[in-house]
Structure 1
Amino acid sequence: MIYFPVNSLDVRHNFALEYYLMTEKRPTEPVLLLWSTTPTVMLGKYQTAKNELNRPFIEAHHITAVRRLSGGGTIYNDQGGCQFTLITPTDDATIDFSSGLNLVTQALNQIGINAQDDSRNDLVVDGRKVSGSAQYLTDGYRLHHGSLLFNANLDWMAQALKVDPDKMKAKHIQSVRQRTVNLIDQQPDWDAEKFKKELERTLLNLTHAKIGHLKSVEEDRLRQIAASQFNEKSVWKSEQRPYDHVHKNYLTGIGVVSVAFDLDQQQRLADIKLSGDFFSNINLQHFKKALIGKPYQREMIAPVIEAQLNQSPIKGLQPDQLTDLLF
């Protein structure tokens, strides 16, 4: 394993670093990163900003907004917490959080924090969330990145994020604040920097990672990637227009899945948008193109959805579940 120290507090630089390592540097062994950000909200790949983010609060408090290349839900973090990244060379196109969460859980336990994995992608302490994870795949690589809350501003988190009411109802919570807790409760004598250093030391011991460094020309490349792939305008330009029909549900173990669509006068699909906090590598444009023009009849639509999800699965979701939602 190779550990690349990250000094930047700019989430766009750090997401660019992940992307550069996977698509251009292409290491032959796993990579570990540990990094922090200024106050930031990170929108999932398949989410709609209007539904997830309190834009007036975010802009008034100069919180950075960025869209990830991974699925899952929106998270908030700041310098009171940190992020971890694991990049693994693999030909397996399956989204799998187990190995990454096992490593991070082991490291946390060794520094006196009693965290454990819970549900599909979270780490919890006494049933309350301290970490959320997401993944995406490129040719030959799997990236697993996640947040760790040590002394993050949970009040800002609660005000910056909107949480789907169906999701809160399913999880029996009233707000994001009720569901989340900081790790400082377990190490009250530490600050966030001490936590990050202890976690770094332990992860390096567990993985026997060697230290890697980037050249100045590579840092120049990161700035280019950050500007093109992770600029803030791309977050807000996806504001959802009104659709004639919106069918949405929270599916346990999968997440929020929403299908918004229009029908033409012949009752054919004229437009369709799939969104949510699910995990997948599905190409939404390909999904849309495959369905537009099809008659709004279950027997005509079901085989198309099955073919699309067989090609690019949504973690935990069966094709008939998505078809049921559409109808």
Structure 2
Amino acid sequence: MICIDKQSNDPWFNLAADEFVLKNLAVDVFMLWQNTECIVFGKHQLPLQEFDLQLVERENIPVIRRISGGGTVYHGPGNVNFSFVTTESADKINFGKYLLPIQLYLRSLGMNAEVVSKSNLVIHGLKISGNAASVHRNRSLHHGTLLFETDKSRLDFVLQKPKQAYHTKAVISNRVETTNISKYLTRALSFEKFCNGLQTYVNQYFGISGIRLFTAAEIGEISKLSNEKFKSREWNFGYSPDYSIEREVLLSGEKINISLLIKQGRIDSVILSNEHLSDNEILKGALIGIPHDRHSVSNSLIQVQNRLTCDDIEFNSLINNIL
């Protein structure tokens, strides 16, 4: 096993680097890395049901889909992430194997971290680490987070569940109470020293002798993957499992039920409870085929607003209710 220093806190680059190493390198690799503030969600999740997208956008927080399964996590100051990419002949997903050195390092600092629900690390029943995995041929990626001194109020604020309901088979995060590792230290330890100690411990555990950087060519490939995939709407929203929504809206003073089916991030069908409503075909024409996001829905409906039999209040409510 070798260690690679990503030398980046760019979340898109760092998630792309995990995929690049998984699919393009043959050697076993350990990486310890940090991201600027972002929300990272699982490959098979629907982001709209994991957090309040309007709130997150107002806070200017990036939201990024990763290639591994599992639930939604918060990355930011005081949080460190680790990745193990290995070649496996069998038992390709084995969280315990790669969480063990993390547990032993924490034990050396005077705390007993336990593995629960196959892939979470907890101290006194409170979660300090969430982990996920991905397999590509005979290669496995195990990566996870460690909450050292994360602002928990910030974490809870940005991961607020949305009020709207979505009907989908997407994986739903299992929200549990979290805590910080720093609370359980028996002696003072800075975040930097904690990370350096973890790096040294894992290196010794796996017999890693030295750290290398990505080459210029590798950085170029990772950056391309970051820009073309991890920053794309198609990956972050279009890859979502199919979902549907049912909302009650007010049109011309009449309460109408409207149902949308969304496939690959785009509105596939629109059904209104009053099929004789004059607005019915106008709404279908404006909505079917467009991305199901605020920018696209707003722009499309504004183009037909003067043809709809609703006032400005009803119009704005319509936009808010079908997102």
Interval of TM-score (by shorter of Structure 1 and Structure 2): 0.5 to 0.7
| SS of match in other structure, 1:70 | coil
Distance 1:132 1:163, change over 3 A: farther
C-alpha deviation, 1:156, in angstroms: 1.9
C-alpha deviation, 1:126, in angstroms: 0.4
CA–CA distance in structure 1, aligned partners of residues 37 and 85 of structure 2: 24
C-alpha deviation, 1:190, in angstroms: 2.5
What corresponds to 2:74 in structure 1? 76
**RMSD of the alignment, in Å?**
2.7
> Is 2:17 aligned against 1:17?
yes
CA–CA distance in structure 1, aligned partners of residues 29 and 217 of structure 2: 20
CA–CA distance in structure 2, aligned partners of residues 190 and 55 of structure 1: 36
- Amino acid in the other structure paired with 2:188: D
- Amino acid in the other structure paired with 1:201: T
What corresponds to 1:53 in structure 2? 51
| SS of match in other structure, 1:117 | strand
- Amino acid in the other structure paired with 1:101: L
What corresponds to 1:318 in structure 2? none
| SS of match in other structure, 1:151 | coil
CA–CA distance in structure 2, aligned partners of residues 134 and 241 of structure 1: 23
**Higher Cα Rg: structure 1 or 2?**
2
C-alpha deviation, 1:133, in angstroms: 0.3
Unaligned 5+ segments in structure 1 are 166-174, 245-260, 263-269, 272-327
What corresponds to 1:202 in structure 2? 201
What corresponds to 2:229 in structure 1? 229
C-alpha deviation, 1:137, in angstroms: 0.1
Percent of aligned pairs with the same residue? 25
- Amino acid in the other structure paired with 1:242: S
- Give the structure-1-normalised TM-score: 0.66
C-alpha deviation, 1:164, in angstroms: 9.8
Distance 1:112 1:164, change over 3 A: farther
Contact 1:54 1:159 in 2 (8 A): no
CA–CA distance in structure 2, aligned partners of residues 11 and 83 of structure 1: 11
What corresponds to 1:4 in structure 2? 4
What corresponds to 2:285 in structure 1? none
C-alpha deviation, 1:50, in angstroms: 0.7
C-alpha deviation, 1:87, in angstroms: 0.7
What corresponds to 1:147 in structure 2? 145
Contact 1:31 1:87 in 2 (8 A): yes
C-alpha deviation, 1:59, in angstroms: 1.7
Q: Please list the CA deviations of residues 266-305 of structure 1 after superposition, one character each: whole Å capped at 9, or x if unmatched.
A: xxxx99xxxxxxxxxxxxxxxxxxxxxxxxxxxxxxxxxx
C-alpha deviation, 1:44, in angstroms: 0.4
Aligned residues: 237
- Amino acid in the other structure paired with 2:230: F
What corresponds to 1:242 in structure 2? 244
Distance 1:2 1:149, change over 3 A: same
Alignment of 1:22-101 (within 5 A): 22-27=22-27, 30-92=28-90, 94-101=92-99
C-alpha deviation, 1:63, in angstroms: 1.7
Distance 1:203 1:94, change over 3 A: closer
Contact 1:83 1:146 in 2 (8 A): yes
CA–CA distance in structure 1, aligned partners of residues 151 and 24 of structure 2: 35
Unaligned 5+ segments in structure 2 are 164-173, 247-260, 263-267, 270-323
CA–CA distance in structure 1, aligned partners of residues 63 and 237 of structure 2: 9
What corresponds to 1:102 in structure 2? 100
C-alpha deviation, 1:91, in angstroms: 3.0
> Is 2:137 aligned against 1:135?
no
| SS of match in other structure, 1:224 | helix
Q: Please list the CA deviations of residues 191-213 of structure 1 after superposition, one character each: whole Å capped at 9, or x if unmatched.
A: 32222111112111222213233
